[in-house]
Structure 1
Amino acid sequence: MPFKVIANGNTLELYSSFDEVKIDNKITSDVLALFSNKTFVSEIFFEELYYQSYLLKILIINLFTYEDDYIRYDYDPVRTNGKLHPLNHYDLFYCSIVLIQPLNWD
């Protein structure tokens, strides 16, 4: 898997599985900024990536060379159902992973 979650006291931290790059607010913002401009489809994108931080370059290269997956924040008032499907939550998708047992968050 491209990501792993590590418990650190009372918090959960997200890391890339390849080089253990911590996925925090800063690197998330950097990735969004890099992909939000229209240069992504041109050679300029790769020039911009060259000048970014080492950790960001490693993360982007690893994500480009890995299978399709995503982590996204979701606000879902239509399907809200207590702890089973909270109003605000993260959706994780990786290949065809199926949870046999529901996650216990208590």
Structure 2
Amino acid sequence: MDMKARIKSNGHIVNVNETGERVISKNGIERVYISDDCSGIYYSQSELEFLQTKNEDTIDWNQVRIQEAIAETQAFCNDKTLSCEKTSKMPVSQSDALVAELKKKGGQE
């Protein structure tokens, strides 16, 4: 998906695409983006400020899913009657259900 971003070092606006690669930087593990102008320039996530457009879905559903699974896991860990297997599977199922419902409510599906 083509995204519009501002290069923090010089203020230029560029269109970039996520490469799927990750790099380790002083900011931790970051996503890598490539400029779509055929220049072959790569940027790490911390070098860019992403700009939102009104018609663009800017929700990172995988991140929502992960955060919800973490919250659910914390809640299930307090329940000593559940096995480790259930404690690991139930939060994932519930976070998937939450994301599906949120997408429906937001008209994203």
What TM-score does the superposition give when structure 2 sets the normalisation length?
Answer: 0.26
Structure with bigger gyration radius: 2
Between Structure 1 and Structure 2, the one with more helix by share is: 2
What TM-score does the superposition give when structure 1 sets the normalisation length?
Answer: 0.27
